[in-house]
Structure 1
């Protein structure tokens, strides 16, 4: 049994890292958040410097050591989760050769379309390529160029010298784990989204057939490991950097989507949860692979013994709400953003409609070119009307995706649905989602679900539970708020949604 009685859990997002100290009852004893820069530029550029992530982790741990007595000696394990679809090119020693192309980076859209396109085609994909990807990987690269496949090929063609020097191609968590342990590894979620992985049951691993089809060599790809696997102790240098004992165990870790699933407590097959933060997704574990080409969702191979995790991701949630408050003259820092939606007045019958596609969309329409719309504006509409429309628009956009998922036979169609993520902590949003879906919404450890879910990966190693899923199941009923649908609002939103569906169809036709 490892020494120590606590787990340090770090969830690396787009703008910062949330780090928590978790005990054997999955209670957060202390937490800290540290931010890091995101470099945005024209042409779809969205980059980060990997050392910034590590420095932020070190700062957070310095704060936590001051709050938790003897944390250095009590920490038995360190576990990471992170954003997906990053591309980091490193040399043999793991030193980055250029900044990370984050998931938000869209410069490779044209490269991606060239990769997947051709004649004859269906849904923008050359049919023979699509058939091979669907059979082997249960999906295919997105048309918007945000998946690693297109980014890797963009570097290969536009930065050939960088590509020539590249020994390892890593995702965000992969690089952090190398910095911590010296090992080069990846999780199945990251591997899956390179579209170079065979996800068929019993055949999971890197696919030579997909490597040949894309022209991306597999010798640059790291070893796949399970999220609960112990990679080893911290290296001496990492222990010094982080102020932890050298015998602190480091686990394989997972993606932010799997961490949120675990943190929601909804770990039974077919049970859904909603993660609402900068972006938004509906997700749930499935008994087998699921795929909808027409609606752009599928199961991802998770780092829990390759268990399929259904993901239907939408690009805009908290980002759209923050934008609406900002452009309507409100404050967006801290509690001010929440207050902007608490004090916006009752919905009006003639409120404008809002399509929150400010950064394109993924599900159920995969198109990086479509953009947001306020429809039906009148002279009497004020800042509150715009904010009401934004809140409703994000919720009804979620309903649009949810309606597609409800066609899947394995999904639970009734009962409460859990919601986590920073935006879930906004009571006005949670109630609007309950009314839009006509389903009771349970809000759990909204802002810390990722940290708690990540920590469950250490439960088996530390003897807290038989598995991460068994530990996570105890989080399901830890609710901070229960939001029952309001029949009057359910009816009103159903009518509004019927009108919005017509508007949406016309707007979509205006884009290629």
Structure 2
């Protein structure tokens, strides 16, 4: 048995897999995001730990024997979050999250301080990355900056509380802007540009390496032995391991809080000017490119609340009744948290265009699903221009439960989409797989295979025709109003 823990933005998911990839147990515990000021997005790291323990306790109550049989733990988590610890290993301030946009000015400062930053990191400096956040803290909270002894990514803070070790993996660390991504090591010049040193950083491991063991107190509280904890991965690389996207020309779409279009590569292929990310994969000697949209399934949750529906499924049922032989009169820009690929614009805002007296909740819901699909299409264009080759696309994340959204996405992207077993728990599934590889010393190609196909959704010819025109209109709307953001 293998325990996979995924620390997301909206909650913690914990699963147990057996050696045959059978999902035997799972539990979830919700988290909230604090947005005290415009562009800010924060969480209390103590809430991550409490949610993780609560989720494990749910499984312990229902499946204590499964927990007792766990051989190893794998971790995945939301990327880029700045978790700051002092010399007593106490949290200094709330963690600044991946979708926080306050540090745009510091991105310019960072690239000016280290002109080779894009060459070293393979990425353009964006407010979502960790390094600019630290410059913001130095400039705006100097007392807090002076206290910093260690900087951890969100999942690695959980690891520290689980094992007492300061450790991270290559894939998650790629999103800090402190990693030399080609050489898979910390970059002293990038750290110096943010007034930090390697001493502030955790030890780096490949995703399948063992970083420590559960402490006695945590093992007893959770009902496990003092089993090994594997390095794991950032949520996207873990999702790739979970869905079997570890070989060239494979790709996936992640419909989580944010949206990710992820393509695996066997070589390092940076193209920072396109706002495509180039990161280390969680598999040794493998890299990946990805386009990122900051709001995906979170847009559906938002419009569900806006229209007064009890849950997303209820709204989706209304959207199903729309006439999809005709284009929607309303277009939606899904930039509720700004945008990364391809715009790199933290100030971008959401927009409904084309409202009239006949606009109803179903129309708004449909336009949201389509707007997110158009954002993915922009990301697909950026990936292809950056050299990624895409033969097969799988879909993971909570939004993958909607066949309607799959049909819209397939038609907008002009390619079939594959839905596989375990896709809705992708990162946690991948974390458990990485744990198995680490303790059994297996080949990733043996363990990280593509899951059983549940459904393949082909593009709809009628929808393709009008989506081609609507996507162009969607792009034109952004270009015409971006100066007003």
TM norm structure 1: 0.89
Mapping 1:79-94, distance limit 5 Å: 79-94=74-89
Cα deviation, 1:157-178, whole Å, max 9, x if unaligned, reads 3222222222111111111111
Q: Which residue of 2 aligns with 1:121?
A: none
Q: Does 1:135 align with 2:119?
A: yes
Q: Aligned match of 1:71 in 57, 63, 66? A: 66
Q: Report the aligned-residue RMSD.
A: 2.1
Are 1:85 and 1:148, in contact at CA under 8 Å, matched by a contact in 2? yes
Are 1:287 and 1:308, in contact at CA under 8 Å, matched by a contact in 2? yes
Change (3 A) 1:337 1:456: farther
Q: Aligned match of 1:286 in 257, 265, 277? A: 265
What's the offset of the Cα at 1:115? 3.1
Aligned pairs, how many? 484
Q: Which residue of 2 aligns with 1:473?
A: 449
Q: Which residue of 2 aligns with 1:312?
A: 291
Q: Does 1:300 align with 2:279?
A: yes
Q: Which residue of 2 aligns with 1:120?
A: none
Q: Aligned match of 1:111 in 87, 106, 116? A: 106
What's the offset of the Cα at 1:434? 0.7
Q: Does 1:17 align with 2:1?
A: no
What's the offset of the Cα at 1:147? 1.5
What's the offset of the Cα at 1:85? 0.8
Q: Which residue of 2 aligns with 1:456?
A: 433
Q: 1:322, 1:497 → 2: CA distance?
A: 23
Q: Does 1:272 align with 2:258?
A: no
Q: Which residue of 2 aligns with 1:178?
A: 160
Unaligned runs of 5+ in 2: none
Q: Which residue of 2 aligns with 1:364?
A: 342
What's the offset of the Cα at 1:462? 4.2
What's the offset of the Cα at 1:259? 0.8
Q: Which residue of 2 aligns with 1:241?
A: 221
Q: 1:410, 1:138 → 2: CA distance?
A: 15
Q: Which residue of 2 aligns with 1:425?
A: 401
Question: SS in structure 2 opposite 1:245?
Answer: coil
Are 2:99 and 2:337, in contact at CA under 8 Å, matched by a contact in 1? no
Greater Cα offset, 449-458 or 349-358: 349-358
Mapping 1:279-428, distance limit 5 Å: 279-332=258-311, 335-346=313-324, 348-349=326-327, 351-412=329-390, 414=391, 416-428=392-404
Q: 2:270, 2:482 → 1: CA distance?
A: 23
Change (3 A) 1:467 1:208: same
What's the offset of the Cα at 1:11? 0.6
Are 1:270 and 1:287, in contact at CA under 8 Å, matched by a contact in 2? no
Unaligned runs of 5+ in 1: 1-5, 117-125
Question: SS in structure 2 opposite 1:473?
Answer: coil
- Where has structure 1 moved over 6 Å in runs of 4 or more? none
What's the offset of the Cα at 1:481? 2.1
TM norm structure 2: 0.94
Q: 1:421, 1:219 → 2: CA distance?
A: 35
Q: Does 1:56 align with 2:51?
A: yes
Q: 1:396, 1:371 → 2: CA distance?
A: 15
Q: Does 1:164 align with 2:142?
A: no
Q: Aligned match of 1:195 in 177, 198, 215? A: 177
Question: SS in structure 1 opposite 2:453?
Answer: coil
Q: 2:383, 2:164 → 1: CA distance?
A: 41
Q: 1:258, 1:359 → 2: CA distance?
A: 22
Change (3 A) 1:243 1:53: farther
What's the offset of the Cα at 1:305? 1.9
Change (3 A) 1:17 1:337: farther
Greater Cα offset, 432-441 or 294-303: 294-303
Change (3 A) 1:48 1:409: closer
Q: 2:395, 2:297 → 1: CA distance?
A: 14
RCO comparison, higher one (Cα < 8 Å, 6+): 2
Q: Does 1:486 align with 2:460?
A: yes
